[in-house]
Amino acid sequence: MTTPLGPLGDLPADEMRAALHRMADWVADYRETLEGRRIVPEVSPGEVTAGLSPTMPAVAEALPVILRDLDHIVMPGVVHWGHPAFLGYFGSTSNGPALLGEIAAAALNVSAMTWRTSPAATELETVVLSWIRELVGLPASFMGIVYDTASVAVLHALAAAREEALSQVRGRGLAGRTDIPVLRVYASDQAHSSLEKAAIVLGIGQDNVVRISSDARHRMDMAALAAAIARDRAEGMLPLAVVATAGTTTSAAVDPLPAIAALCARESIWLHVDAAYGGAIGALPEGRALLDGMERADSLVVNPHKWLFVPLDFSALYTRRAEALRRVFSLVPEYLRGAASSDAGGTDRGAAIDYMDYGIQLGRRFRALKAWMVLRAFGREGITSRIREHCRLAQAVAERVGREPDFAMATPVSMSIACFRYEPAGVSHESADRLNAAIVAAVNASGAGYLTHSTLDGRTVMRMGFGNVLTTEAHLDTVWRHVVAESRRLGATHGD
């Protein structure tokens, strides 16, 4: 592994094999030592850059030199999202089988744009999407497609909604038209901000994302939603879509899907359900009821890279209106015509779908492979037992909060998310806000645990989310000890 690349080909076969084995050990070592690492590195902006050459090397460098720099320059700047005490965001989702799938997909490096250019990637995508659909409890009338992220998925969903609601938008656009009213999209004040990005891109406008107030449990207020829609209609605006959330980012709240679905049906409004995180709860028999009504959605996104143990990136959009999605995005250029499955004489179109007809991207990685390996290696039972354990760990946070003076849950635990707050007597709400943020920062700075803060009911709260198969109650205990210690320490100096 000391020879640089051959004059024009690739690494010689024996060196490539040796390098792959060396990398296998690197990965195995990484996973074995992960728990002993600081989660957040002690690194300042510019520090990684300072170790890197500002210019590209003129001539080939040997792999051992590059791998040494990986260890000595890159790794000291890595936040270890896969550490079992990393309880930020929605937790890391990688694991052994997932990694093997990533490696195989990288080796194949195919693009799943059409069936013809990628029969296996296309069919595996369809099969895996049907497994996930069934796992979360969606009916077979939903067609799926894999995108990279939920932000891209909601963009596609709203593009389809726009196409369904308005004529000739695909061709004529929205600009300069007097026949198109202001478009409105509704979501609770707890919904993910990716919706705003989609509205901006689609020409709907950020101001036309109507944030509906939520109730005491952070669920969209139905009366407020109905009133907003009525008011907008009265003003001549067009209610285009409601984005309901099943598992909000801060507290895993679930909007009242049956009522929203009924309203959307009555009003002929597209219903998109953001179940990017929460969709996974449908895998539990006891969790399925939380998602009641989702089967009436026009589209729904679930991110296996959030809570179904598939690594970044893998977001699944399901829709009952696949033809609308296809009407927006199908454009087969001549140089792909021969590759399009619709030209595969006598071929049943359903069996040979060209996923590029349903989305923006033409270059599409073989993402289904890692998902297929994860779902098989875990099995339904393995997936559900881990999701159940994550929910139990969130409840275990609530128990600890209940036992600790000056701590209180900010809202009851939902799914695998626990939001709580430290508010010692004699400290104002505002001061406690700063204190809670400071506690999170201090715990994270310790390197031993990681959590995030967020805002709930106008107050700053601490938040733990569980999603890593390596996380046990012992890891929770470690993070919790740091939270309590930092609370006491910082609380003592954070008077008004």
Q: Which of residues 127-186 bind its own copies (CB under 8 A)?
A: 127, 130-131, 134-135, 148-152, 155, 159, 169-178, 180-183
Of residues 74 and 230, the one with the C-beta less far from its own copies: 74
Q: Which stretch binds its own copies (CB under 8 A): 216-224, 377-385, 403-411, 475-483?
A: 377-385
Smaller CB separation from its own copies, 63 or 294: 63
What is d(CA 227, CA 235) in angstroms, rounded to the nearest whole number? 12
13 touches its own copies by CB under 8 A: yes
The residue within the footprint of its own copies, chosen from 77, 215, 233, 442 (CB under 8 A), is: 77
- Would you call the peptide bond into 221 cis, given omega within 30 degrees of 0 as the criterion? no
Name the 3-class secondary structure at 273.
strand
CA dist 280 and 288 (Å) reads 9
**Is residue 362 at the binding interface for its own copies, with CB under 8 A as the rule?**
yes
Structure tokens given for 463: 């938040």
List the beta strands (DSSP E) in 249-340.
Answer: 270-274, 299-302, 315-319
139, 258, 379, 495: which one contacts its own copies (CB under 8 A)?
A: 379
Closest CA to 103 of 184, 28, 214: 28
Which one of 222, 409, 437, 490 is in contact with its own copies (CB under 8 A)? 437
CB of 169 to its own copies, least distance (A): 7
The single residue listed with the structure tokens 């909060």 is 401
* Distance (Å) of CA 93 to CA 123, 140, 148, 226: 24, 26, 15, 38
Joined together, the tokens standing for residue 429 give 């709400």
447 sits near its own copies (criterion: CB under 8 A): no
| Distance in Å, CB of 122 to its own copies, minimum | 8
- Looking only at the bridges linking them, the beta strands covering 183-188 and 238-245 are parallel
Distance from the Cα of residue 310 to its chain's centroid: 10
- As a whole number of angstroms, the distance between CA 200 and CA 178 comes to 20
89 vs 424, which CB is nearer to its own copies?
A: 89
CA distances from 434 to 348, 409, 494 (A): 61, 17, 8
Q: Which of these segments, 329-337, 409-417, 427-435, 479-487, binds its own copies (CB under 8 A)?
A: 329-337
Q: Which of 187, 188, 196, 394 binds its own copies (CB under 8 A)?
A: 196
Residues in region 397-436 near its own copies by CB under 8 A: none
Task: Choose the binding region for its own copies from 20-28, 257-265, 290-298, 484-492 (rule: CB under 8 A).
Answer: 20-28
Query: What letters, b where the CB count within 10 A reaches 16 and e where it falls short, cover 26-62?
Result: eeeeeeeebeeeebbbeeeeeebeeeeeeeeeeeeee
Q: Closest approach of Cβ 467 to its own copies, in Å?
A: 12
Determine, following the binding rule CB under 8 A, whether residue 208 of this chain makes contact with its own copies: yes
Instruction: State the minimum distance, in angstroms, from the CB of residue 324 to its own copies.
Output: 13
352 forms part of the interface with its own copies (CB under 8 A): yes
Report the distance separating Cα 354 and Cα 20, nearest Å: 33
Is residue 166 within 8 A of residue 180, CB to CB? The reply is: yes
Per CB under 8 A, contacts with its own copies among 41-60 are: 41, 43-49, 52, 54-60
| Residue (57 or 426) nearer to its own copies, CB | 57
Segment lying near its own copies (by CB under 8 A), choices 226-234, 254-262, 341-349, 486-494: 341-349
Please, which residue, 296 or 459, has the CB nearer to its own copies? 459
Q: Map residue 42 onto helix, strand or coil.
A: coil
Residue 91 or 293: which CB sits closer to its own copies? 91
Q: Of residues 157, 164, 186, 194, which one binds its own copies by CB under 8 A?
A: 194
Task: Determine which residue in the list 36, 285, 333, 426 makes contact with its own copies, applying CB under 8 A.
Answer: 333
Instruction: Please report the DSSP string for 111-173 in residue order.
Output: --SSTTT-HHHHHHHHHHHHHHHHHHT--TT-EEEEES-HHHHHHHHHHHHHHHHSTTHHHH-
Segment contacting its own copies (CB under 8 A): 226-234, 260-268, 348-356, 421-429? 348-356
Least Cβ distance, residue 426 to its own copies (angstroms): 25
Strands (E), 50-109: none
Question: Which residues are CB-neighbours of 315 under 8 A, at least 6 positions away?
Answer: 146, 147, 148, 149, 150, 152, 153, 276, 301, 302, 303, 304, 305
- Minimum CB–partner distance for residue 29 and its own copies (Å): 9
How far from 360 is each of 74, 164, 327, 476, CA to CA, in Å?
A: 33, 18, 12, 41
Smallest gap from Cβ 341 to its own copies, in A, equals 7
Asked if 186 and 334 touch (Cβ cutoff 8 Å), the reply is no
Separation between Cα atoms, residue 136 and residue 465, nearest integer Å:
20
- For residue 259, the minimal CB distance to its own copies (Å) is 26
Residues 231-250 touching its own copies, rule: CB under 8 A, are: 237-238, 249-250
| Residues 88-127, mask of contacts with its own copies (x by CB under 8 A) | xx--xxxxxx-xx-xxx-xxxxxx---xxxxxxx-xx-xx
Stretch of 25-33, 262-270, 403-411, 484-492 lying at the interface with its own copies (CB under 8 A)? 25-33
**455 binds its own copies, rule: CB under 8 A:** yes
- Residues 295-324 within binding reach of its own copies (CB under 8 A): 305, 311-313, 315
- State in angstroms the smallest separation of the CB of 408 from its own copies: 19
Instruction: Give the residue carrying structure tokens 């008011």.
Output: 231
